[in-house]
Amino acid sequence: MSPDGPASLVPRIREILTAIGEDPGDEDSLLARVEEAAAAAPDGRSSAAWVAARLLGRSLKETRFELKERVLELESLYDLGLSIGGQLDLDRLADEILLRSISLTNSRSGALHLFDGDRPILSRAFGGALLSPEDAVRLDVGTEGAINNEAGTLPTSGVWLSECEKCLVVPIQSETRRLGVLAVADKETRDGTIRDFFPSDARLLTLFATQAATAIETARLHREALEKERMERELEVAAAIQREILPREVPTFPGLTIAAENRSTRQVGGDYFDFFPLAGDRFAFVVADVSGKGVPAALLVSTLASAIHLQIEDARTPVELVERVHRHLRRFSRTRKFATLFLGVVHTPTGELQYVSAGHNPALLARADGAIEWLPATGRPVGIFADSTWTEERAVLRPGDRLCVYTDGITEAQNPVQEEFGTERLAAYFSRVAGLPVREAASTLFGEVLLFADAAPQYDDQTLLLLARDDAEPGPASESA
Amino acid sequence: MNESCRVETVRDGDLAVVRTEGYINREGGEEIERCVQLLLEGGVSRIVLNLEKTKIVNSIGISILIEVLEKMMERKGALAFCRLTPTIDKTFRIMGLAQYAGIHSTEEEARSALSATA
């Protein structure tokens, strides 16, 4: 042992450390380190060489520890990347990101806040409140983030970070918008003091924030995909229900040939048609078009169909049936949705037609001799105005005549230059196909409309009911398209 | 999230199980260090450190655990870890703790491993 104690070893130790490129530090700290090392010498026999070896051993140990910390940081980033790829639970990801951020910066506390615009959507805190979701929303740390090693207040925003001495806050942002903030506070040391955050801490935290942004965007896309899938499933169910509402086959009535077809532009549509056998050689038919599209329209179709089925037995006239349906819709459709409908009652032996058209497109009556007649609306659509009234009109279907009742999806079908198919083309079509069997004439009309549209997207359902009085036309009694 | 570290000890002869709950940072690490010191002074030479309820550990906490391990080795004792989260498991392996202490899935497994060293 040095006879003058550890202090006498300091100059020699300084020389040794400087010679091998180690920073000896200031006089006091070096003396403290030398004294500590000397105290651990076996039998109290410390020499300059022994103390230097001891100090270098410790330095090497610290360097290796720091190197392992850097490896750990890289591994954490790698693991987080993998988690983001395989983990779509945003809550769990937020926990993982926050804990790793606190752990790798040696912080005592931290918080992670995500928001959608100004609305907080997820908040996580560890080790104290640190930052409320509302403050997180209004916290402005720019795009680079902010280190505050002086006090808990961030200079750019005046937001107070409670329960901490020093803090580091970085934004979580996508290419176009801010998604949240990630904050850590109070970087601790082995001796129990709080030290300043380093720029390297800010870089690490920014990398975590970038990972978080990717995770959030991935989770959002996943949520949207699930939502879309759910809506598609609902639409499929609604479409199945609606298929049950529409008649599966067209009924047969003596002396008449009928074809009917519906084509929806969506999985569920807003058109409806149906048939109802009545006493006294009569039957009723209805073609309707409800307002709106998609599921809401399909629900209204369901309400309308129920109303007709419920009321048709009790109504004494077509007008009374329409009035009852109107009241039913007004009672059960609170959003004031409405429907146009054409209700006809045919006496099959004579071809006499009674009809009410509630705001529906004019039906086309193609006479056997080639004349075209239109049967216009006899009142307003059902379901809107409380004081609506309707009148009943009559026509006679003579042998060879064809009655075409349709929805506006046919006449308002548009081509790429926004021209509509229109009633003139419809009339011309029926003049041209007078010799075609009913079913063929009906299905060919859809082809004609498709050809006219020339691949332009169509947004309205198309329904056609074609009813022909037999005699002039040979063939089966009824046809289902 | 609960952050402050709590330590619970169950002794069985010269073997003890130390169960932690919360953040193993400086404070948590020192709590474990104090507890281990008392056990060593009380004649315990084998310790299972069960981290089932610890979800986060930082490098200060790890450096204290390394000191604890060194102390155990100086006294010819043995220490084993169990019930680590995957993140802490990986952290301990990277930081070199697994070189000096076994890492086990269950407390029973860790106890058996230490009993075999007695």
Alpha helices in chain B (DSSP H): 26-41, 59-74, 86-94, 107-117
In a domain, A238, yes or no: no
Q: Best mutation site among B3, B4, B53, B84 for testing chain A: the one with the most A CBs within 10 Å? A: B3
- CA A365/CA B48 separation, integer angstroms: 94
For each of chain A's 481 residues, which pLDDT tens digit applies? 455 677 888 888 888 888 877 788 888 888 888 888 888 777 666 777 778 888 888 888 888 888 888 888 888 888 877 776 666 677 888 888 899 999 999 999 999 998 888 888 889 999 887 788 888 887 777 666 666 766 555 545 556 666 788 888 888 888 888 888 899 999 999 898 999 888 888 888 988 888 888 877 887 788 789 889 988 887 777 777 777 889 988 999 989 999 999 987 766 678 999 999 999 999 999 999 998 777 778 888 888 999 999 899 889 999 999 999 999 888 876 666 799 999 999 999 999 999 999 999 999 999 999 999 999 999 999 998 889 999 999 999 999 999 999 999 999 999 999 999 999 999 999 999 988 999 999 999 999 999 999 988 887 889 999 999 987 444 444 444 3
Chain A residues within an 8 Å CB radius of B91? 72, 103
Same domain for A401 and A269: yes
| Cβ separation A106–B59 shorter than 8 A | yes
| Cβ separation B58–A102 shorter than 8 A | yes
DSSP for A297-344 reads HHHHHHHHHHHHHHHTTT-SSHHHHHHHHHHHHHHH-TT---EEEEEE
Report the number of distinct structural domains present in chain A.
3
Same domain for A170 and A123: yes
pLDDT for residue A3? 54
Q: Which of A75, A87, A16, A74 is nearest to A48 (CA)?
A: A16
pLDDT for residue A474? 45
d(CA A94, nearest CA chain B) in Å = 13
d(CA A310, nearest CA chain B) in Å = 60
In sequence order, which residues have a C-beta less than 8 Å from that of residue A17 and are 6 or more positions away? Answer: A23, A24, A52, A55, A56
Q: What ipTM describes this predicted complex?
A: 0.92
Number of neighbours of residue A463 by Cβ within 10 angstroms: 25
Same domain for A386 and A317: yes
Q: In what order do the strands lie in the sheet with A462-469?
A: A256-263, A462-469, A402-406, A363-366, A372-375
- CA A432/CA A276 separation, integer angstroms: 31
Same domain for A101 and A58: no
The residue of chain A with its CA nearest to that of B55 is A99
Residue A273 belongs to domain spanning: 246-469
pLDDT for residue A149? 64
Same domain for A259 and A187: no
pLDDT for residue A158? 58
Q: Best mutation site among A103, A164, A190, A195 for testing chain B: the one with the most B CBs within 10 Å? A: A103
Question: How many CB pairs below 8 Å do chains A and B form together?
Answer: 59
CB A390 within 8 A of CB A319: yes
Same domain for A153 and A105: yes
For range B84-106, the mean pLDDT: 94
- CA A48/CA A476 separation, integer angstroms: 118
In a domain, A478, yes or no: no
Same domain for A356 and A303: yes
pLDDT for residue A85? 65
The CATH label, of 3.30.750.24, 3.60.15.10, 3.40.640.10, 3.40.50.300, for the domain at B6-107 is 3.30.750.24
CB A81 within 8 A of CB A73: no
Question: Domain residue spans in chain B?
Answer: 6-107
For range B14-20, the mean pLDDT: 95
Same domain for A393 and A265: yes
Beta bridge partners of B28: none
Same domain for A264 and A161: no
Chain A residues within an 8 Å CB radius of B26? 188-190, 192
pLDDT for residue A477? 45
Q: DSSP code of A280?
A: T
Chain A residues within an 8 Å CB radius of B97? none
For range B52-64, the mean pLDDT: 94
Domain CATH number, residue A144: 3.30.450.40
- CA A378/CA A339 separation, integer angstroms: 14
pLDDT for residue A45? 67
Q: Which of A186, A221, A256 is the last residue of a domain?
A: A221
Same domain for A146 and A110: yes
Alpha-carbon separation of residue A150 from A39, A146, A167, A206 (angstroms): 38, 12, 9, 20
Alpha-carbon separation of residue A254 from A312, A348, A439, B112 (angstroms): 22, 7, 17, 92
For range B13-36, the mean pLDDT: 95
Same domain for A295 and A390: yes
Q: How many helices (H) and strands (E) does chain B have?
A: 4, 5
The residue of chain B with its CA nearest to that of A189 is B60
Same domain for A92 and A60: no
Domain CATH number, residue A329: 3.60.40.10
